[in-house]
Chain A
Amino acid sequence: QKEVEQNSGPLSVPEGAIASLNCTYSDRVSQSFFWYRQYSGKSPELIMSIYSNGDKEDGRFTAQLNKASQYVSLLIRDSQPSDSATYLCAVASGYSTLTFGKGTMLLVSP
């Protein structure tokens, strides 16, 4: 059984701070890793994908992958109240279906 674990939160950070969201996965052969943002009442929106060990930056977002530790994280710099949402980690093995974590709720206070 493939599992993806996330702290449910809420993770509360002040505006302008760095928010750090973490995810661990059980399937060692996982090759593709994704972060989705989901606002309340909306569908998930893909914000980052990462396939290789190390960091991948896109604007204020940085995804970090460590396959040896089976760990993937998302850093959000200069957090804004509009970043308040649930962040879902998803993992795939090869060209296959995604397994989602339960998500971490992020609250950014003004």
Chain B
Amino acid sequence: SAVISQKPSRDICQRGTSLTIQCQVDSQVTMMFWYRQQPGQSLTLIATANQGSEATYESGFVIDKFPISRPNLTFSTLTVSNMSPEDSSIYLCSVVKGATNEQFFGPGTRLTVL
């Protein structure tokens, strides 16, 4: 597995603002992903963070709303832009290390938009 940290752990934001969430891993990983988990729901994949290139977004998610960076093999950021109350959710990063496709999750960022 890997030790994964996310910052901030939680935040309360005003609508119309943006928040950048950081994901840091203690060692190099093969792949990094960003998920959203709305209250009482399962996990929905937002995008795959690609090192050195544009992220690959899932249907329903766009780069203008959720810009993602991954400058190296241990770090990624997700920005939630122009937030609305519907963006209130837990945002999780996950990583794959090595040749398997086992994913390990960070502790999550709990976002509340007022």
Binding site for B on A (CB under 8 A): 32, 34, 36, 42-46, 49, 88, 90, 92, 95-98, 100-103
Contacts and interface: CB of A to CB of B under 8 A. Distances in A.
Nearest to B107: A43
B2 to A, nearest CB: 11
Interface residues of B, number: 20
B57 to A, nearest CB: 11
B100 interface: yes
B89 to A, nearest CB: 13
Dominant secondary structure of chain A at its interface with chain B = strand
Given A43-B107, A97-B33, A97-B48, A49 B42 contact: no
Interface of B: 1, 33, 41-45, 48, 58, 90, 92, 100-108
A92 B44 CA distance: 14
Given A43-B92, A43-B107, A43-B108, A88 B42 contact: yes
Which 4 residue pairs are nearest across A and B when measured between Cβ atoms? Answer: A43-B105, A102-B42, A100-B43, A43-B108
Given A43-B92, A43-B108, A100 B103 contact: no
Contacts of B107: 42-43
A44 B100 contact: no
Contact of B101 (A88, A96, A101): A96
A36 B103 CA distance: 10
Contacts of B45: 97-98
